[in-house]
Amino acid sequence: MKNGKEESPAPSSAKIFNTPTPLFNLMSYFLFFGLGLAIGLIISFSLNIQLKQFFVPTPDQTTSPLPIPIANETKKINRIGLKEYLKPPKVAHDMTDEELLWRASMVPRVGGFPFKRVPKVAFLFLTRGPLPLAPFWELFFKGHEGRYSIYVHSHPSFNATLVPQSSVFHGRRIPSKEVQWGKFNMVEAERRLLANALLDISNQRFVLLSESCIPLYNFSTIYSYLMGSKKSFVESYDLPGPVGRGRYNPRMKPLIKMEQWRKGSQWFEMDRGLAIQVISDRKYFPVFQKFCTPPCYADEHYLPTLVSVKFWRRNSNRSLTWVDWSHGGAHPARFWRVAVTVDFLKKLRNGSHCHYNGKSSNTCFMFARKFLPNALDRLLRFGPKLMKFN
Ligand SMILES: *[C@@H]1O[C@H](CO)[C@@H](O)[C@H](O)[C@H]1NC(C)=O
Ligand SMILES: *[C@@H]1O[C@H](CO)[C@@H](O)[C@H](O)[C@H]1NC(C)=O
Ligand SMILES: *[C@@H]1O[C@H](CO)[C@@H](O)[C@H](O)[C@H]1NC(C)=O
Ligand SMILES: *[C@@H]1O[C@H](CO)[C@@H](O)[C@H](O)[C@H]1NC(C)=O
Ligand SMILES: *[C@@H]1O[C@H](CO)[C@@H](O)[C@H](O)[C@H]1NC(C)=O
């Protein structure tokens, strides 16, 4: 009876130890507890030592005030932040046009930049092969690194490795495709150039040039003119007659009406916002691709019409590239060696009238075409002094 009463509070322990007397039971409890405590202490002590050995104190974790500034500095230097994200891909990447346009169309929705951004001018050279006037451009760019970027689209058969390593044009050729005069692939090449330049978040203004183009002012003047402009420079005008409205195809209706049809020079200058709109257009582009075939030349109508219909508020409707159409015909006048004089260059710089940011101005053209390769030596002789290159 007694045994049964004693056993009842701890029946399981009795079963485990299977001991008959309560005294022995109590002693074994103490022994068990003491052993456990000792083992626990030993383990925790040795673990503590091991942990201390593993985690060698880093400058970060020390409590002494002296090493803190060092940690601060190394952290700053090694910080990745947005660096990896903002790094533009190699100019000679292997993206398809579809992949390129998709990537280039991405826009941050938060205004401003959480880093220091020096806006750059992207010079987009649409060429057949080499750039014969490159030495003049080299002088123009000299000393202005970090405020411009160059992209070259040339015929796929052109061997770009021939561009000297010392040249600003070296390694700046984008993956290019064949372009034929008056064909729609000219517009595709322009979009390809814009899209490649958009991959660099620093590029703010985009100017299309050919191998026969020259600058008319020094870099700092052109940079200020472009960065300071509230508008883009896509020439756009309504021209009655066969080479204007005559090129309109009624099958473009209802998207494009005759009254909306515009003409203009392909040599544009535009801001980043407009460039993104142009490469993202999926509505007007296919219609021009299908219906603007010779004698309709898409490079003279696609951008002038698109910009005039959708983005006219941001456009000045004029081109920054001077050209001479005075003698008529399908091609503008070309300038060879003897045509290049100081007076001629002065006239191009200050012989016109236009509006700039709402004010009347005589400074209307930043660039001029079409200069033949043999004009180079005279350009090198008169240009830098007249245009105040540094
Ligand atoms: C450490 O960082 C703080 C905050 O970014 C900064 O104000 C301080 O100048 C830095 N100190 C050093 C030594 O770089
Ligand atoms: C381009 O020119 C370099 C040097 O002259 C030559 O080694 C290379 O084979 C050429 N590449 C092509 C595709 O013609
Ligand atoms: C440019 O042309 C469009 C029509 O195509 C017109 O609405 C706009 O006012 C013009 N802008 C300037 C600055 O002349
Ligand atoms: C530009 O031409 C106008 C007259 O057409 C003249 O008043 C002005 O001084 C000229 N500016 C320069 C910088 O030559
Ligand atoms: C660029 O030309 C302007 C005048 O046209 C001159 O005032 C300026 O100093 C020149 N810039 C440089 C960097 O030489």
Closest atom of ligand 1 to CA, residue 73: 14
307 Cα–ligand 3 center, Å: 10
Helix (H) / strand (E) element for 32: namely helix 22-54
Cα–Cα distance, 314 to 307 (Å, whole number): 9
| Ligand 2 pocket residue status of 56, Cβ below 6 Å | no
How far apart, in Å, are the Cα atoms of 234 and each of 45, 85, 182, 193, 367? 78, 31, 18, 16, 14
| Ligand 2 pocket residue status of 390, Cβ below 6 Å | no
| Ligand 4 pocket residue status of 350, Cβ below 6 Å | yes
Measured by CA distance, the residue closest to atom 7 of ligand 1 is 72
237 Cα–ligand 3 center, Å: 8
pLDDT at 12: 46
228 Cα–ligand 5 center, Å: 16
386 Cα–ligand 4 center, Å: 14
Cα–Cα distance, 82 to 155 (Å, whole number): 35
Query: pLDDT of 119-143, one tens digit each?
Result: 999 999 999 999 999 999 999 999 9
How many Cβ atoms sit within 10 Å of the Cβ of residue 330? 8
Q: What are the boundaries of each domain within the chain?
A: 87-107+117-320, 321-389
The segments of the chain whose pLDDT lies below 70 read 1-34, 36-37, 40-76
pLDDT at 14: 43
| Ligand 3 pocket residue status of 218, Cβ below 6 Å | no
How many Cβ atoms sit within 10 Å of the Cβ of residue 313? 6
Closest atom of ligand 5 to CA, residue 389: 14
pLDDT at 329: 82
- Measured from the alpha carbon of residue 221, the closest ligand is 5
87-107+117-320 is classed in which CATH architecture?
Answer: Alpha-Beta Complex (3.90)
CB 210 within 8 A of CB 125: yes
Write the Ramachandran bin of 62: left for phi over 0, alpha for psi from -120 to 50, otherwise beta: beta
Collect all residues with Cβ–Cβ distance below 8 Å to 255 and sequence separation of at least 6. 283, 284, 287
Predicted structure pTM score: 0.80
Identify any residues that bridge with 121 across adjacent strands, giving them in sequence order: 148, 205
155 Cα–ligand 2 center, Å: 15
